[in-house]
Amino acid sequence: MYKLTRINGTDFYSGTINYADNIGKIVRVNSFDPPESGDCGKGLHSCKNPNDCFIGARIPCRAFQVKTIDVICRGTKITRSQGLKVIGEIKDLDSLFGWKYSEAINPINPFKINAPQVTDEHIELLKKWDSVWDSVWASVWDSVWDSVRDSVGDSVGDSVWASVGASVGDSVWASVRDSVWASVRDSVWASVWAYIGSLFPLIKKWKYIKHEINVYPFQPAVDLWKQGFVPSRYDGNVWRLHAGGNATIVWEGKL
């Protein structure tokens, strides 16, 4: 079983039980709800699937392998018990979760990258992005939050969005909005969604778009992002590439 904690090793609910300080020991609660209160009642909670732990946790976090002691209630995802034996801490969270946790907690900000000169290669990436960008929001949302619900979970998607969307995403938009019309917001945020989707490499088929299995269909935007470029679509058919701390327009044209 697995238990996720805050960075300081304490539980997310009360912040009073320190799992990091009790490796090899058993932690217990003296007050707990009866079994009929279900798996989310008062007690110590753990999950067989570490991603299910995000129902009550968020990133950044630490992960511990635990053994249940005196089980009160076993649900489909959560087991509630009176005690947990802390077996050890798991350091490789990317492998544990099956998605890029290490990048999700420290997302790439394209405007902090020293972008190169725009070349034909970048324009080709932009052309490919132009053909798929308007479906990225629905595809990433439903693929991560819905179609892989059992292996990733709604709570994981929400937690990753809180980290990437609310930090880098807001920062990118704040940089771009002063140099472009507000009407291009959707095309700018589309790149944010494409980047978020790239953090889930185990998704093999993305919804609402035809693509080769095991090939991420929104990779062109990610390739531009990681080279320091954020595209925006202006006036319906004019594309721009923004780069640098001031989101300067470094290329503009029709495709």
Q: Which of 63, 118, 72 is nearest to 93 (CA)?
A: 63
Q: What average pLDDT score do residues 153-173 get?
A: 64
Q: What is the model's pLDDT at position 175? A: 57
Determine which of 11-15, 123-127, 175-179, 236-240 has the lowest per-residue pLDDT on average: 175-179
Q: What is the model's pLDDT at position 147? A: 42
Q: What is the model's pLDDT at position 12? A: 95
Q: Are residues 91 and 109 in the same domain?
A: no
Q: Are residues 216 and 162 in the same domain?
A: yes
Show the domain range for 134. Answer: 99-254
C-beta separation of 255 from 234 below 8 A: no
pLDDT at 66 over 90: yes
CA dihedral sign, ordered 129, 242, 201, 75:
negative
Average pLDDT, the chain: 87
Domain boundary among 63, 81, 96: 96
Q: Are residues 156 and 189 in the same domain?
A: yes
Q: Are residues 113 and 145 in the same domain?
A: yes
C-beta separation of 244 from 116 below 8 A: no
Domain boundary among 70, 96, 122: 96
Q: What average pLDDT score do residues 107-128 get?
A: 95
Determine which of 52-61, 140-149, 195-204 has the lowest per-residue pLDDT on average: 140-149
Q: Are residues 88 and 106 in the same domain?
A: no
Q: What is the model's pLDDT at position 186? A: 78
Q: Are residues 127 and 246 in the same domain?
A: yes
Q: Are residues 119 and 63 in the same domain?
A: no
User: Rounded CA gap, 76 and 132, in Å?
Assistant: 37
User: Rounded CA gap, 84 and 3, in Å?
Assistant: 9
Q: Kindly report the three-state secondary structure assignment for every residue of the chain.
A: CEEEECCCCECCCCCCCECHHHCCCEEECCCCCCHHHCCCCCCEEEECCHHHHHHCCCCCCEEEEEEEEEEEEECCCEEEEEEEEEEEEECCHHHHHCCCHHHHCCCCCHHHCCCCCCCHHHHHHHHHHHCCHHHHHHHHHHHHHHHCCCCCCHHHHHHHHHHHHHHHHHHHHHHHCCCCCHHHHHHHHHHHHHHHHCCCCCCCCCCCCCCCCCCCCCHHHHHHHHCCCEEEEECCCEEEEEECCCCEEEEEEEC
Distance between terminal CA atoms of the chain? 52
Q: Are residues 121 and 222 in the same domain?
A: yes
Q: What is the model's pLDDT at position 131? A: 94
Q: What is the model's pLDDT at position 245? A: 84
User: What is the percentage of the chain residues whose pLDDT exceeds 90?
Assistant: 57
Structurally, the chain folds into a number of domains equal to 2
| Residue 142 banded pLDDT, cuts 50, 70, 90 | confident
Q: Are residues 92 and 196 in the same domain?
A: no
Domain boundary among 96, 120, 145: 96
Q: What is the CA radius of gyration of the chain?
A: 22
Q: Are residues 132 and 148 in the same domain?
A: yes
Q: What average pLDDT score do residues 174-188 get?
A: 61
Q: Are residues 141 and 245 in the same domain?
A: yes
C-beta separation of 113 from 226 below 8 A: yes
Q: What is the model's pLDDT at position 170? A: 63
pLDDT at 57 over 70: yes
Q: Are residues 191 and 81 in the same domain?
A: no
User: Rounded CA gap, 209 and 244, in Å?
Assistant: 31
